[in-house]
Structure 1
Amino acid sequence: MEQSATPACSICFPDSICRISPSSPLASPNGDEYHMKIALLCSGLGNVQRGHEIFVRDLFDMLKGSVDITLFKGGGEPAPNELVIDNVSRNAPSLQNIHLAVSPRWKVAMQEQERIRIETETFAHAALRPLLEGGYDIIHCLEQEVCNRLYGFRHLFAHTPKFLFSNGGAIPAAKLSNCDFVQEHTEYNLQHSAREKAFCIPHGVDIQRFNPSISSDFRARYGIAEDAFVVISVGIICYWHKRMDYLIKEVAQIPEAHLLIVGQECADTPAIKALGEKLMPGRITFTKMPHDELPQAYAAADVFALGSLFETFGIVYIEALAMGLPVFCTEHPNQRSIVREGVFLDIKQAGALRDALLKRDPAQMRYLRERGPQIARETYALEKLKSAYIEHYQRIAASEVSLPRYTFKTKLQDNVRSLYRRLSRG
């Protein structure tokens, strides 16, 4: 168990973008100023509610009054500057019987990945027409599959847009989406990205909604004792990523603890709930709620814990910090760079979280409760990040990108491929 302070992600620009002065007006190729248009795409928004989708909603709401931005979303209701794009949702009943030749151990995870692939690819194709007709300067994609599909259609646009990919999955440089620019969310991820086109802006949190002054009747409504030591975890109730089963086994060994798990359900959830009721009868609460109501749940807790071995970012970390909750999490360098000051554990080890919670030092907990909101205000407040996004959009829109051209090299490559095919036919 270790408390650590680590520098947070700085907002930085690749050399390919920095050549444009941030104070210069956005100019067209002939030197005239022009109106910058941005398309923000997320197939999951309206279909699921995870940190990924929360980020998109917060980003759009933060920017919509300052730049010309249109949100392309996979579900929900149409609204001004918000388009609902047709897709086969990952939650569609028609996708609940997927047959894959995979190990039973990974069956649930692989089925979910296949559902996401279908959703994103159908979304990308349905989004193509409004994108072609919209005259956008930047197409900002949140899903890799969407970015890859649409990038392959660049040659169809009258005015070639710049493709920006927000790398929410910590995809390394060798496997990144086809795109012109990449947003990373932490310095750790930036180090493993395509440095010539990558920049770093962290996720943000609305500190007006998430702050320690919020009062809550959550304990009374859910029958949680006022004197209970409440550990909260927020995330999908599953084995393979959030490791909620690990969390249950660890917290169950603390007699005075009550575990509060807030998250969406999946195929793993019934078994995990059964485990919780078996090991912690009367001391565990499972629930899900709209994101707007989540501060009430945080306000009912004493500490926050997450069983994940790695998170690309983890918006729940900074929500917990903003609420003044000490954070117990993996000791991975990426999480250290996000949380900065918390209790970092070798969370692969049985007993690690149990021991950290049992041995918690009251003075350390008081310090972390005070320090968390400061970190949130200084580093992750949405208003602090707004100007960085606008500046990046301006730089990207004013940069030059080009389509592949037919050159002597491509002619030679075509001839070699043609010769190989003829020789193969023998």
Structure 2
Amino acid sequence: MNVFIVCTGLGHINRGYESFTRECYDALKDTIDFKLYLIKGGGKSIGNEIALPNLPRRKKGAQFLAKILPLDAYAIEQATFCISMLPLIFKKKPAVIYYSDFVLGTYLWHLRKYLKFKYKLLFSNGAPNGPPFKTEDHVQQLLPVYLEEAIRKGAPAEMQTLLPYGFNININERLNSLAKKKLIRKQLGLSPTQKVILSVGAINTHHKRMDYLIDEVAKLGSEYFLVILGQFEAETPQLINLATTKLMGRFTITNVPQEDVKDYYIAADYFVLASLNEGFGRVLIEALSYGLPCIVHNYINAKQVLGEYGIYLNMENEGELTEYFSIEKTVLNKESLIKAAHSRYSWSVLKKDYLKMISALIN
């Protein structure tokens, strides 16, 4: 039986949805339980990886249509991708379509209803959305808080699976990378003596709160250097100006290819995510898997992701992060953090559960 794992942004942008879809396909593609296809919005079509034409949300075509249609650019990307996928659905007749973009799933549900397709819709609920779940056959809940809330609001437990994101984590590779820290810092142009604070996420103020992070680091001494990596957004120039004014050369704000982010994890001393809420926060586990202390806002989602391996502050308060670094506490050693990330989230631990979840919808 054929299974599609689908992400319209893969090949266009770097978010949690895209990195998860890429890793999930790579982890599961060798299974004998079903034939897996990666259906993506950009890049090259190679083997079972198929790139489909669409109007990407950040391109002029989608943004122009958003001005004249009752759809935003994101929905236009999903709709045009869905139309492009129709011939593939007719040809391959997938038993399951596995996706993270809620809007895409809604369109696929309508197509199934009117064109009498037989596929089951498996939704990885990373935002999260719902309940109720009216257009999904099964929902992957990433954290207990979402599963408990959904059941409390009437969503049947049997249509949900509690299963966190998987990650490519090789313990030996991570441990060996620690010895390369000085070399990689030199290659990245970072000081060998400054303490590097890293944050990864969309470079904005409204969700990731990079302005809060800049303001807090500005109050620290010159021994601290801030690195912000992520997708540039409308607010990014404003944040670059803020950092230029307040950090006086003690910062880097840039967007790098996903495969290059790991060098910054190796080079950094701390990881900070200043957002007050996240659906899951894949970057937290990526950072933890490189032995970085993860400093986050104190809320239930982050606690369920990191457990005892997180450092929790009230980042609604001005000066909270600055105070932490001023009276810095002892944290677990890097090897303990790497092993904790592996034992909870590596594909080698979770792969069988993913195969079970998908196979249950085929049978």
Fold-level similarity (TM above 0.5): yes
**Residue 158 of structure 1: CA displacement?**
6.2
Normalising by structure 1, we get a TM-score of: 0.78
Residue 178 (structure 1) aligns with: 135
Please state if 1:139 is matched with 2:101. Answer: no
Q: TM-score, normalised by structure 2?
A: 0.91
1:353 corresponds to which residue?
321
> Given the alignment, which residue of 113, 117, 120 partners 2:75?
117
Q: How does 1:315-354 map to 2 (within 5 A)?
A: 315-340=282-307, 341-354=309-322
**Matched letter for residue 358 of structure 1:** S
State the Cα distance separating 1:152 from its structure 2 match.
1.3
Counterpart position of 1:127 = 85
SS in 2 for 1:192: helix
Deviation at 1:159, TM superposition (A): 5.9
Structure 1 residue 150, shift from structure 2 partner: 0.9
Task: Determine helix, strand or coil for the equivalent of 1:86.
Answer: coil
Query: What is the CA-CA distance between 1:177 and the residue it aligns to?
Result: 5.8
* Alignment partner, residue 214 of structure 2: 248
Q: Which whole-Å CA distance do the structure 2 matches of 1:352 and 1:137 have between them? A: 50
Q: Which has the higher contact order (CA 8 A, sep 6+)?
A: 1
TM-superposed CA distance for 1:71, in Å, is 1.1
Hey, what does 2:18 align to over in structure 1?
A: 53
CA RMSD in angstroms comes to 2.1
Shift of 1:98: 7.8
User: What is the CA distance between 1:162 and its match in structure 2?
Assistant: 1.1
2:358 alignment counterpart: 393
CA contact (8 A) 1:204 1:315 kept: no
Q: Which 4+ stretches in 1 moved above 3 angstroms?
A: 95-100, 155-159
Distance 2:348 2:319 in 1: 40
Report the CA distance between 1:287 and its aligned residue: 2.2
Local SS of the residue matching 1:65: coil
| Aligned equivalent of 2:176 | 213
Deviation, 1:246, is 0.7
Of 52, 73, 85, which aligns to 2:40?
73
Give 2:147's aligned residue. Answer: 190
Q: 2:202 is matched with which residue?
A: 236
**Structure 2 unaligned regions, length at least 5:** none
2: CA distance, partners of 1:157 / 1:63:
29
Between the two proteins, what is the percent identity of the paired residues?
31
Letter in 1 for 2:207: H
Partner amino acid, structure 2, of 1:179: E
Question: How far did 1:163 drift?
Answer: 0.9
Partner of 2:236: 269
1:123-150 alpha-carbon deviations (Å, 9 max, x no partner):
1122122112212111112211111111
The residue aligned with 1:313 is: 280
Task: After superposition, give the CA deviation of every residue in 1:293-326 in whole Å (9 maximum; x if it has no partner).
Answer: 2211111111100111111111110011110010
Q: Secondary structure at the match of 1:173?
A: coil
Once residues 114 and 75 of structure 2 are traced to their aligned partners in structure 1, the CA distance between those partners, rounded to angstroms, is 23
Counterpart check, 1:382 vs 2:339: no
What SS does the corresponding residue of 2:349 show, helix, strand or coil?
A: helix
1:166 aligns with 2:124: yes
Contact 2:175 2:335 in 1 (8 A): no
In the aligned structure 2, how far is the partner of 1:373 from the partner of 1:115? 39
In the alignment, the residues of structure 2 paired with residue 271 and residue 292 of structure 1 have an alpha-carbon distance, to the nearest angstrom, of: 27
Distance (Å, rounded) in 2 between the aligned partners of 1:280 and 1:177: 49
Question: Is 2:118 the partner of 1:153?
Answer: no
User: Which amino acid is the alignment partner of residue 141 of structure 2?
Assistant: E
Tell which structure's C-alpha radius of gyration is larger. Answer: 1
| Partner SS state of residue 198, structure 2 | strand
Shift of 1:87: 1.1
1:124/1:146 contact within 8 Å kept? yes
Rounded to whole Å, the distance in 2 between the matches of 1:165 and 1:290 is: 27
Q: Which runs of 5+ in 1 are unaligned?
A: 1-35, 101-110, 399-426
SS in 2 for 1:154: helix
1:279 aligns with 2:246: yes
Which letter maps to 1:202? P
> Aligned equivalents of 2:298 and 2:272: distance in 1?
12
Residue 294 of structure 1 aligns with which residue?
261
Query: In the alignment, is the contact (CA less than 8 A) between 1:132 and 1:156 conserved in 2?
Result: no
Deviation at 1:268, TM superposition (A): 0.8
Q: Are 2:102 and 2:129, in contact at CA under 8 Å, matched by a contact in 1?
A: no
Shift of 1:385: 1.2
SS at match of 1:328: strand
* 1:201 alignment partner, one of 142, 163, 167: 163
Instruction: State the shift of 1:42 in Å.
Output: 0.8
User: 3-state DSSP class of the match of 2:122?
Assistant: strand
2:57, 2:77 within 8 Å by CA — same for their partners in 1?
Answer: yes
In the aligned structure 2, how far is the partner of 1:195 from the partner of 1:344?
33
